[in-house]
């Protein structure tokens, strides 16, 4: 049982995933008696590949699942992928374009075959990559939003919502993606402010009595104007209401109408051109006044034949220029103002969307939102961090109907049939053969598919077999936690809440944990154009410079021209957990991943040290040793004999760490979990405990056998326990080491099915812990004197004196002398009285927990240095005294502060004064010594 001399993450991580998989440890049993703990994965795009955002959610969700699995729950992490309508379709279309064809030439059926082929070829990539992260998903339950079962769920949901009047088809103003050739929902349109212009155009009155000026940001839409609206109370235009305008360029007459809703006398010229076909406001205004709708921009953003000949076929922005030019030529351009505005852009294609009135399918927002709001309000579902609740509420209270139809082929085709002979629409669970209204066989199915997010909204129950009443659904719904990024709070989380409460009559999850966004070290979003992408797989397996893309990874190459070393999935996971403080951007630095790999190397070496010193050590039976974690039963306490105070100290620290981690996990404070582990492993276990027990371990005499065995037991127990605590974050290295540790026959086969530690009262050995803590303080203090007075590390200090009247402390020093001697490189330790201390000449002094430490110099210590050190100490203590006495002399403080605070301050000042006196005495002696040469 040995492990390699150096920690090689790639080697360590190679074998264990298959081992876990083969043993079926990831499988969740729906018939189990155990309490369920379910997380559904946020399904990544099926054609995507792993990025840092995925790496973060895999880390956090796997952490939760592995923890709960070890903790005795029936843990289900349900994986799957999303068909990602537009994204996937666009990729295949791009491929077709290279072949010089397109989907229309291919036809719907052939095209879909191509997409499925693409999916089959590339769809496994991201799943495979998640496995490299260590994801312990129940792969046997992997789902795909377009698979048979989920398609059935989508169909059922659509039909039911339609039957219940919550889905309707209607003509509404929608945002059209002129590149993607589909409508988009509000959420898929991004708005970013840019500088634009506001053109003031003169529209001549038909009777020749003058003109009216309208302001517009979109002059090219004027071909579709069907009115100009003014406010009835606007004195400037009162007399013009009812008059006709002769619309320039198109030579058509349109009325000036009075409208109280739209025109704002303080904005623009106060008169608004009305283009019902190309502006949402104008659309509404058109309905109010029964205005005609003339579409002048087509679906490819070109001017159509409703405009004068010279404009037909022009791109809308070219047309804009020409319109302005013609107006200027006609002397009808009043003026131009600069004006910032925010055009809507398609999130996917970047195209400036064109608002158009179209017949589309919608889901009603309000009735579905109500119970979802209620669920969060009542605390049934808790959103963490709580700040997001406001955002959720704001969205839900202002929810708008959701446009769910898309003019794509890749997706769930809408189950609606239109009749050519009557206007009946058939919506059915089964494909109909004829019209439900007139029985005609001339029916056509709606060509459109559903928004991808419609199927995602059903994910927490569709993946468990809904609409069938399955055992899985019964066991695992509602899920316990939804863990995802806040960027899809509206797209996904809110909609799952709505659909879950509607179809399942219960929320889809108890808790929603929203994590931060992973960005680069400067806080910039990772993107190809910025060249700041950090690929998780490069971090895990390393990347030679030639593996890196000059464009994509420009920043990384700048930092690491030679490429990066393999850091391992464990180091990446530990780093991401460490970064996962609530409600913040994650500014990922490669250096930090390297730092945590060093931490894992530290753990590795601690284990190696353990193994080297456990040779021949027989592990006690699992049932009586490490198995203490499986039970709260105190009849099975952990009681190795002959524990040293160092042993008791580390066990107490371990127990304290377990307590901390328990709370931190429960409260999703993953960064603190990682921090507690880091501190315990590095500072407590490695820096102190291992050093403290070396003499005991190296002692193979018969007299030392008992303490040696106690140290071995404690070391093994501590290592074994901390591996379990770390396993949810760093599964590979912990398994690898754990498998190498001595174990009894009856131990479990894998750490991942071992029990997660809970704090145990019998490990809280306070007296020994405090005694050891005192010794550690003393050691640190002597080391500090050595360091600051330039005593060479190799030099042994002959004599160290301790002054204290406290019997307990005297006993502690006496019994712990060996620790001090070794750790602080000192030989003779003597406890003396204050009177004898006064006789010492030329000593360095320090104060620890009321104990004076005095080290005679005798050429050992540099006097200059010691004087400097003393003076620094003295001014520090004087500042402390001043601070506390100021507080204590404040009458109000003494009158109003709680008793224990005051008592604490009194004790403090006492201690400071003692220290001060000792230091002053030492200073005086030192000066005498210096004077005498």
How near is the Cβ of 792 to RNA at its closest, in Å? 6
Q: Which residue among 27, 204, 682, 748 contacts RNA (CB under 7 A)?
A: 682
Q: Locate tokens 């592995």: which residue?
A: 66
| Shortest distance (Å) from residue 285 CB to RNA | 9
Residues contacting residue 44 through CB under 8 Å, at least 6 positions apart: 54, 81, 82, 126
Q: Which of 321, 558, 584, 858 binds RNA (CB under 7 A)?
A: 584
Helix (H, G, I), strand (E, B) or coil at 480: strand
Instruction: Give least dist CB 6 to RNA, A.
Output: 5
Among 104, 394, 528, 749, binds RNA (CB under 7 A): 394
Angle between helices 645-666 and 691-698 (to 10 degrees): 140
Distance CA 322, CA 201 (A): 13
Residue 68 in tokens: 């709960």
Structure tokens at 592: 């930090």
- Cβ distance to RNA smaller for residue 46 or 884: 884
Could you tell me which stretch among 34-42, 394-402, 423-431, 447-455 binds RNA (CB under 7 A)?
394-402
CA distance 134 to 13: 9
Residue 906 touches RNA, criterion: CB under 7 A: no
Q: Is 347 in the site for RNA (CB under 7 A)?
A: no
Angle at which helix 387-397 crosses helix 366-377, to 10 degrees, equals 160
827-886 residues near RNA, rule: CB under 7 A: 872, 879-880, 883-884
The pattern of x and - marking residues 219 through 258 that bind RNA according to CB under 7 A reads ----------------------------------------
| CA angle centred on 436, ends 430 and 437, rounded to 5° | 165
The one segment of 134-142, 456-464, 682-690, 717-725 that binds RNA by CB under 7 A:
682-690
Minimum separation from the CB atom of position 869 to RNA (A) = 9
Whichever of 148 and 562 has its CB closer to RNA, that residue is 562
Positions in 703-742 near RNA (CB under 7 A): none
CB-wise, 141 or 786, nearer to RNA?
A: 786
Q: Which of 612, 639, 767, 838 binds RNA (CB under 7 A)?
A: 612
Interface residue with RNA, options 146, 271, 458, 778 (CB under 7 A): 271
E strands, 364-478, are 382-384, 402-403, 405-406, 416-419, 425-427, 443-445, 449-450
Footprint of RNA on 399-418 (CB under 7 A): 400
Partners of 81 in the beta sheet?
A: 144
Q: How many residues bind RNA (CB under 7 A)?
A: 99
Q: Which is nearer to RNA, 154 or 772 (CB)?
A: 772
Q: Bridge partners of 802?
A: 831, 853
User: How many beta carbons lie within 10 A of that of residue 793, not counting itself?
Assistant: 8
- The distance from CA 678 to its chain's CA centroid, rounded to whole angstroms, is 20
- Pick 262 or 923: Cβ nearer RNA: 262
CA distances 775 to 459, 646, 772, 928, Å, are 57, 10, 5, 31
x/- mask, RNA, residues 280-309, rule CB under 7 A, reads xx--x-------------------------
* Nearby residues of 218 by Cβ (< 8 Å), 6 or more positions away: 275, 278, 279, 320
Write out the binding residues for RNA, residues 785-804 only, by CB under 7 A. 786-788, 792-794
CA distance linking residue 555 with residue 307, whole number of Å: 50
218 forms beta bridges with none
Nearer to RNA, 272 or 314 (CB): 272
Residues 22-51 close enough to bind RNA by CB under 7 A: none
Q: Tell me the HSE value of 459 on the side-chain side, using a 13 A CA sphere.
A: 32
Which one, of 206, 196, 201, 258, lies nearest residue 233 by Cα? 258
Phi and psi of 137, rounded to 5°? -75, 155
784 interacts with RNA by CB under 7 A: yes
**Nearest distance, CB of residue 144 and RNA, angstroms:** 27
Which one of residues 758, 908, 923, 929 is an interface residue with RNA (CB under 7 A)? Answer: 908
Cβ proximity to RNA: between 735 and 905 the closer is 905
Which residue lies nearer to RNA by CB, 151 or 849?
849
Stretch that binds RNA, among 45-53, 321-329, 408-416, 581-589 (CB under 7 A): 581-589
Using the 8-state DSSP alphabet, how is residue 525 labeled? B
Work out which of 470, 624, 739, 780 binds RNA, going by CB under 7 A. Answer: 780
Residue from 901, 903, 907, 924 binding RNA (CB under 7 A) = 901
Q: Are 256 and 240 in contact (CB under 8 A)?
A: yes
Q: Which stretch binds RNA (CB under 7 A): 176-184, 238-246, 263-271, 308-316?
A: 263-271
Residues in the chain: 933
- Subset of 171-230 contacting RNA (CB under 7 A): 186-187, 190-191, 193, 198, 214-217
H helix runs in 580-644, sequence order: 590-612
- Tell me which stretch binds RNA (CB under 7 A): 358-366, 436-444, 669-677, 805-813: 669-677
Which candidate, 209, 210, 199, 339, places its Cα nearest to that of 269?
199
Q: Looking only at residues 60 through 119 of this chain, which bind RNA when binding is defined by CB under 7 A?
A: none
Q: What is the DSSP letter of 311?
A: G
Of the two residues 81 and 714, which places its CB atom closer to RNA in the complex?
714
- Please state the closest distance from residue 459 (CB atom) to RNA, in A: 21
- Confirm if 539 and 529 have CB atoms less than 8 A apart: no
Stretch that binds RNA, among 145-153, 554-562, 777-785, 803-811 (CB under 7 A): 777-785
C-alpha pair distances (Å), 792 with each of 145, 475, 783: 68, 66, 11
Rounded least distance, CB 649 to RNA, Å: 15
For the chain, the C-alpha Rg in angstroms (whole number) is 37
- Gap between the Cα atoms of 594 and 576, Å rounded: 12
Q: Which is nearer to RNA, 190 or 547 (CB)?
A: 190
Is 2 an interacting residue with respect to RNA (CB under 7 A)?
A: no
Residue with the two structure tokens 């200059």: 864
Decide if residue 753 touches RNA (CB under 7 A).
no
Instruction: Tell whether residue 595 is a contact of RNA (CB under 7 A).
Output: yes
Nearer to RNA, 19 or 893 (CB): 893
Site mask, RNA, residues 687-706, x = CB under 7 A? Answer: x--xx--x------------
* CB-CB contact of 801 with 854 (8 Å): yes
Which region, judged by CB under 7 A, interacts with RNA, from 527-535, 542-550, 555-563, 778-786?
Answer: 778-786
Token pair, residue 227, equals 């009115």
Instruction: Quote the least distance from Cβ 581 to RNA, whole Å.
Output: 4
Q: Is 602 in the site for RNA (CB under 7 A)?
A: yes
Position 521 contacts RNA (CB under 7 A): yes
Among 108, 523, 827, 924, interactor with RNA by CB under 7 A: 523
Could you tell me which residues come within 8 angstroms of residue 730 by beta carbon, excluding any fewer than 6 positions away? 570, 571, 573, 574, 600
Q: For RNA, which residue of 22, 98, 839, 892 counts as binding (CB under 7 A)?
A: 892
Peptide bond into 478 cis (omega under 30): yes
Q: Is 390 in the site for RNA (CB under 7 A)?
A: yes
Q: How far apart are CA 723 and CA 726, in angstroms?
A: 5
Residue for token pair 């494909």: 431
Site stretch for RNA (CB under 7 A), options 547-555, 583-591, 639-647, 704-712:
583-591
Encoded one letter per residue, x for contact with RNA by CB under 7 A and - for no contact, window 435-454 reads: --------------------
Instruction: Kindly identify the residues of this chain, within the stretch 479-498, that bind RNA according to CB under 7 A.
Output: 490
Query: In this structure, is the dihedral angle defined by the CA atoms of residues 7, 13, 15 and 17, taken in order, positive or negative?
Result: positive
- Compute the least distance from the CB of residue 243 to RNA, in Å: 17
CA distance 218 to 201: 11
């Amino acid at each position: 049982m040995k492990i390699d001399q150096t920690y090689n993450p790639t080697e360590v991580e190679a074998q264990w995933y298959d081992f876990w998989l083969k043993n079926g440890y990831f499988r969740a049993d729906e018939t189990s008696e155990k309490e369920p703990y379910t997380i559904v994965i946020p399904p990544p795009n099926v054609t995507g590949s792993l990025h840092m955002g995925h790496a973060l959610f895999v880390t956090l969700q796997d952490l939760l699942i592995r923890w709960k699995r070890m903790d005795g729950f029936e843990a289900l992490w349900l994986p799957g992928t999303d068909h990602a309508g537009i994204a996937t379709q666009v990729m295949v279309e791009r491929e077709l374009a290279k072949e010089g064809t397109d989907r229309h030439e291919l036809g719907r059926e052939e095209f879909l075959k191509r997409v499925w082929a693409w999916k089959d070829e590339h769809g496994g990539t991201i799943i495979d990559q998640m496995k490299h992260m260590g994801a312990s998903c129940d792969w046997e339950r992997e789902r795909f939003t377009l698979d048979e079962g989920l398609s059935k769920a989508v169909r059922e949901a659509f039909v039911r919502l339609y039957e219940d009047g919550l889905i309707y088809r209607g003509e509404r103003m929608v945002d059209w993606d002129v590149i993607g050739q589909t409508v988009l929902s509000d959420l898929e349109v991004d708005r970013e402010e840019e500088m634009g212009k506001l053109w003031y155009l003169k529209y001549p009155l038909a009777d020749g009595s003058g003109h009216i000026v309208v302001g517009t940001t979109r002059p090219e839409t004027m071909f579709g104007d069907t009115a100009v609206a003014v406010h009835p109370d606007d004195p400037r235009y009162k007399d013009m209401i009812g008059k006709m305008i002769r619309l320039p360029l198109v030579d058509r007459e349109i009325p000036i109408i009075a409208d109280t809703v739209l025109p704002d006398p303080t904005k623009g010229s106060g008169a608004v051109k009305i283009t019902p076909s190309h502006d949402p406001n104008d659309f509404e205004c058109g309905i109010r006044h029964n205005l005609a709708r003339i579409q002048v921009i087509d679906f490819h953003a070109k001017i159509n034949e409703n405009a004068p000949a010279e404009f037909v076929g022009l791109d809308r922005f070219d047309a804009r220029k020409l319109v302005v030019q013609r107006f200027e030529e006609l002397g009808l351009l009043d003026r131009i103002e600069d004006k910032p505005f925010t055009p809507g852009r398609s999130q996917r294609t970047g195209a400036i969307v064109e608002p158009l009135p179209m017949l589309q399918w919608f889901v009603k927002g309000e009735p579905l939102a109500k119970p979802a709001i209620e669920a969060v309000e009542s605390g049934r579902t808790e959103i963490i961090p709580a700040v997001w609740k406001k955002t959720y509420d704001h969205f839900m209270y202002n929810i708008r109907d959701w446009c769910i139809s898309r003019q794509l082929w890749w997706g769930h085709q809408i189950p609606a049939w239109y009749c050519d002979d009557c206007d009946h629409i058939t919506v059915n669970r089964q494909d109909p053969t004829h019209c439900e209204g007139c029985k005609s066989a001339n029916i056509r199915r709606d060509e459109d598919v559903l928004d991808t997010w419609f199927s995602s909204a059903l994910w927490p129950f569709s993946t468990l077999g809904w609409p069938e009443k399955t055992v899985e659904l019964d066991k695992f719904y509602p899920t316990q936690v939804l863990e995802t990024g806040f960027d899809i709070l509206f797209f996904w989380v809110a909609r799952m809440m709505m659909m879950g409460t509607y179809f399942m009559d219960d929320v889809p999850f108890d808790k929603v944990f929203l994590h931060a966004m992973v960005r680069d070290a400067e806080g910039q979003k990772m993107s190809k154009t910025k060249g700041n992408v950090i690929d998780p797989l490069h971090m895990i397996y390393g990347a030679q410079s030639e593996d890196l893309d000059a464009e994509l990874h420009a920043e990384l190459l700048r930092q690491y021209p030679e490429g990066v070393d393999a850091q391992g999935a464990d180091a990446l996971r530990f780093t991401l957990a460490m970064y996962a403080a609530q409600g913040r951007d994650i500014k990922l630095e490669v250096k930090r991943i390297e730092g945590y790999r060093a931490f894992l190397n530290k753990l590795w070496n601690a284990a190696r040290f353990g193994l080297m010193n456990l040779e021949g050590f027989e592990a006690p039976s699992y049932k009586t040793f490490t198995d203490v974690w499986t039970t709260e039963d105190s009849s099975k306490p952990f009681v190795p004999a002959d524990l040293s105070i160092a042993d008791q100290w580390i066990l107490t620290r371990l127990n304290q760490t377990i307590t901390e981690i328990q709370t931190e996990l429960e409260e999703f404070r993953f960064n603190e979990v990682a921090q507690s582990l880091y501190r315990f492993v590095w500072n407590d276990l490695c820096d102190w405990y291992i050093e403290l027990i070396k003499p005991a371990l190296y002692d193979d005499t018969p007299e030392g056998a008992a303490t040696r065995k106690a140290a071995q037991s404690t070391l093994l127990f501590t290592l074994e326990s901390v591996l379990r605590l770390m396993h949810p974050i760093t599964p590979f290295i912990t398994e690898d080491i754990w498998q190498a540790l001595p174990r009894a026959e009856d131990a479990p086969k894998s750490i991942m099915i071992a029990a997660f530690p809970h704090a145990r009262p019998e490990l809280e050995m306070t007296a020994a812990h405090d005694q050891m803590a005192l010794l550690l303080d003393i050691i640190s203090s002597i080391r500090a004197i050595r360091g600051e007075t330039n005593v060479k590390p190799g030099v042994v200090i002959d004599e160290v004196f301790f002054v204290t009247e406290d019997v307990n402390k005297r006993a502690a020093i006496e019994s712990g002398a060996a620790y001090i001697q070794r750790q602080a490189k000192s030989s003779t330790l003597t406890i003396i009285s204050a009177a004898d201390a006064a006789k010492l000449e030329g000593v360095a002094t320090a104060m620890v927990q009321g104990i004076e430490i005095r080290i005679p110099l005798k050429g050992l210590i540099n006097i200059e240095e010691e004087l400097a050190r003393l003076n620094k100490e003295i001014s520090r203590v004087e500042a402390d005294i001043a601070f506390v006495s100021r507080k204590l002399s404040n009458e109000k403080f003494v009158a109003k502060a709680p008793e224990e605070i005051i008592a604490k301050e009194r004790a403090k000042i006492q201690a400071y004064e003692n220290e001060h006196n000792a230091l002053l005495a030492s200073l005086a002696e030192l000066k005498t010594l210096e004077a005498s040469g």
